[in-house]
A and B are shown apart, each in its own frame.
Chain A
Amino acid sequence: MTEKSSITKLLPRQKMPEQDPLVRRRNFDEVPLGYTIELAMAEASRCLQCKKPGCVSGCPVNIDIPAFIHHITEGDFTAAIEKIWEKNALPAVCGRVCPQEIQCEGSCILGKKGDAVAIGHLERFVADYERIHNLAHPPPKAPSTGKKVAVVGSGPAGLTVAGDLILKGHEVTIFEAFHKPGGVLIYGIPEFRLPKEIVAQEVERLEQLGVKIECNVVVGRTVTLDELFEQGYDAIFVGVGAGLPKFLNIPGENLVGVLSANEYLTRTNLMRGYLFPEYDTPVPKGKDVVVIGGGNVAMDAARTALRLGADRVRIIYRRSREEMPARLEEIHHAEEEGIEFNLLTNPVRFVGNEKGRLVGIECIRMELGEPDESGRRKPVPVKGSEFVTECDLAIVAVGTGANPILTRSTSDLKLNKWGYILVDPATGKTSKRGVWAGGDIVTGSATVILAMGAGRRAAESIHNYLTWGW
């Protein structure tokens, strides 16, 4: 038995320290506190440095994970971050919000018998170490090509494209519709899971590399894709996300007190409503809050409601726990904080009072039937099981659709039947010459890292186009 594997046997996965659930449920500070140097080095030493590492192929942007972890074991955190930057422009973000358990860590050989290496925690550690110490050198930048690229949307896909193309010597301008860059990282993901300061710093790093960011520009309205070409852009990447909230289409949905998760989270995160009245945008504060949905956004909304002072927060989800799309860690964090889960339950009607305010929800119990097209067992209503439960705020977090503003203003962009942009999956090329797309506007709501993976492939293809032609 080698020395390495015996250490592995001895050392358990190092847990990341976290804020106490009873304290954090009433503040917006980040929940996990990050590894210390000692914890990071101990965790890194668990890596087997596999010859054929599953983690790398499990990562949508193929970070050389064994190499960066090896640098940590040697205490060279600067070399570690430089290794990650080769493939990932947003490590502080990904270390926090990627579903590592089904990606890199899901393919870790240690996970077969025990606990996988905490790759996400290590990524976060080196990114945070670099943010504090600022010692690393950015990857080398190629000489200017004189080509101009417009990136529409400053979420994870757009930022990745911008980061890649600026290094290849192209001029890059990002157009953002909101007044702050970051997309879903800013408006959607709460402060306690991803501090805005971290997104701002990652964006700033791109700006230091030369990426220009124009906020307050709604492409499709303020300027169209064709006008961008007329202005001299050689290629355009569209990464506008899937920002069109879905509703349940049940009676009472327009009552005061029923909100989309998008609205609730945008008020809280982007507009800093949790700091009201220091900031001017109010957020409705429920005492008895119900969140409908079972994804990460539902968890975010529920945990936000708790932090805004709710006495009771419930998640209502129509399937069972096994089918919940949220990350295990998010479900676990929510449970620790005291969020209740009402599973196999589906709302059928929102109940209002004479002033048009929400006072309750009528639900029906569900049971699981045969698997549907998504492979998950289809929930079926149990006849006669309707019941009404009181609440004063309901947040609908059942996903988003394709926002039509950009696509409606561009006649020659082919869409699928749901309004998402059709692309060649290998390159991200759309039906319109010189235009690429990636992220949620292609796939529908997915994860940060999948959007980044799409951005990476599109950037590669855009570079080829700018070098060799379409």
Chain B
Amino acid sequence: MFKIVRREELAGGSIILNEIEAPLIARKVKPGQFVILKASETGERIPLTVADVNVEAGTITVIYMVVGKSTALFKTLQVGDGYQAVIGPLGQPTHIEKVGKVVCVGGGTGIAVLHPIARALKQAGNYVISIIGAKNKDLLILEGKMRVISDEMFICTDDGSYGYHGFVTDVLKKVLKENSDVKLVVAIGPVPMMKAASEITREFKIKTIVSLNPIMIDGTGMCGGCRVSIGGQIKFACVDGPEFDGHEVDYDELMLRLSAYKEDEQLKYHEEPCKIGLAKAKS
């Protein structure tokens, strides 16, 4: 069992942070890599990017939003409980080097994935401009942590409840117009956000890294479920990624593939059959 040593509810309980004992993984994991978690015997294998690591304590931190049955099950785990399985570190680490000025764009829980990468870029000597956003003020996470590692930071909310009223991509455009010396953009968040960010950076001809989150089972290249089209070539996000050149990704295909099990998952989440055989209650 992989024990949870710290649990925090962020964004009013819709986003959960778990710090988990996984000493072998903690020793190895690098920014950009992910783990697969399985809560219980009957649970699914769910990939989550490692948001933080404490090598001395032998722990890793994951941050996830509750979206379906499996993450709802994760949410029930308290400090002292554990995951049946945590596997990793998986995927290629982010390529970190000093390029000069970088823009790190994070949306929603994508900020949790972005933070260790942005921090590594800062430590490598880059000038880091961060743009983070969420639907509203309550859903914005890791503001403090991002501020610490950013030379400049912009915040936006879709409803205008905090920071700029608008999308991170609006701010990205503005920042790129004002900073002609940006060498790299890292954009992590919902697929439509990454797509929009990549379209903007394409105009400015700036190299852009995105982190993809396709459906995945084993995370070791075995099932092929996470295949994505990158520049017309098929890649497996688990072993070739999860990060790719944002200008090469077929986002529309990724979105379709992500929706493959939507109906099943909704069935599972909302219409659990009655254990004693009574007729299903309509939710």
Contacts and interface: CB of A to CB of B under 8 A. Distances in A.
Interface residues of A, number: 43
Interface string A407-425: 0000000000000000000
Interface stretch (A252-260, A321-329, A455-463): A252-260
B225 interface: yes
A382 interface: no
Nearest to A403: B221
A194 to B, nearest CB: 19
B69 A256 contact: no
A215 B257 contact: no
A218 B90 contact: yes
Chain A interface, DSSP helix/strand/loop, else mixed: loop
B257 A404 contact: no
A179 B69 contact: no
B264 A216 contact: no
Given A216-B87, A271-B44, A404-B239, A276 B268 contact: yes
A280 B260 contact: no
B225 A277 contact: no
B90 A221 contact: yes
Contacts of B45: 179, 271, 281
B273 A280 contact: no
Nearest to B259: A256
A336 to B, nearest CB: 29
B70 interface: yes
A178 B239 contact: no
B217 A263 contact: yes
Contacts of B25: 222
Given A221-B90, A271-B217, A263 B225 contact: yes
A277 B90 contact: no
B85 A216 contact: yes
A218 B220 contact: yes
Interface in B26-66: 28, 38, 42-45
A177 interface: yes
A255 B224 CA distance: 13
A217 B24 contact: yes
A215 B257 CA distance: 29
B218 interface: yes
B265 A282 contact: yes
Contact of A218 (B87, B225, B268): B87
Interface in A217-245: 217-218, 221-223, 243-245
B85 A215 contact: yes
A187 B44 CA distance: 14
B212 to A, nearest CB: 13
B256 interface: yes
Interface in B225-240: 225, 227-229, 234, 239
A51 interface: no
Given A276-B264, A280-B42, A284-B260, A404 B221 contact: yes
B189 interface: no
Interface of A: 177-179, 187, 215-218, 221-223, 243-245, 247, 249, 253-257, 259-260, 262-263, 266-267, 271-272, 276-282, 284, 355-357, 403-405
5 contacts: A179-B45, A249-B234, A263-B217, A282-B268, A404-B221
Interface of B: 24-25, 28, 38, 42-45, 69-70, 73, 84-90, 217-218, 220-225, 227-229, 234, 239, 252-253, 256-257, 259-261, 264-265, 267-268, 272-273
Given A221-B220, A222-B25, A282-B265, 16 more contacts: A178-B218, A215-B85, A244-B222, A247-B234, A253-B234, A256-B256, A256-B259, A262-B223, A262-B224, A266-B222, A282-B261, A282-B264, A356-B253, A356-B257, A403-B220, A404-B239
